[in-house]
């Protein structure tokens, strides 16, 4: 239980970290790349939150269903974020190299 709580807190911190970097970035592709990374962190956060609720807190059928929906939604959100991350990574590298060459 303690491990899940620590992971939940760490993933939420990563989400806030990447959203802050997203706001501060001036590069368009890098913003999309950082948004994808924050989507992964948020999805894993929601999924682990649901798992924690499912395994240790769940007391009723409604609570069980809501926790299962959280797990599924978080997993799908992380998967979509990972696909976006893989898509934007080469473009973000190319954008960084182009801006570095301009300096």
Domain boundaries, the chain: 2-102
DSSP letter assigned to residue 60: S
Give the tens place of pLDDT for each residue, 82-97: 999 999 999 999 999 9
34, two tokens: 């950082």
Query: Rounded to two decimals, what is the model's pTM?
Result: 0.90
Residue 50: CB atoms within 10 A of its CB come to 21
Give the tens place of pLDDT for each residue, 7-39: 999 999 999 999 999 999 999 999 999 999 999
């Amino acid at each position: 239980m303690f491990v899940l709580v620590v992971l939940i807190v760490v993933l939420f911190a990563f989400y806030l970290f990447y959203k802050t970097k997203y706001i501060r970035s001036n590069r368009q592709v890098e913003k999309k790349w950082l948004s994808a990374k924050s989507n992964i962190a948020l999805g894993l956060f929601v999924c682990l939150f649901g798992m924690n609720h499912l395994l240790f807190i769940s007391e009723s059928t409604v609570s069980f269903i809501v926790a299962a929906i959280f797990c599924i939604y978080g997993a799908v959100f992380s998967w979509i974020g990972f696909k976006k991350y893989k898509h934007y990574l080469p473009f973000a590298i190319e954008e960084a190299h182009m801006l570095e060459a301009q300096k």
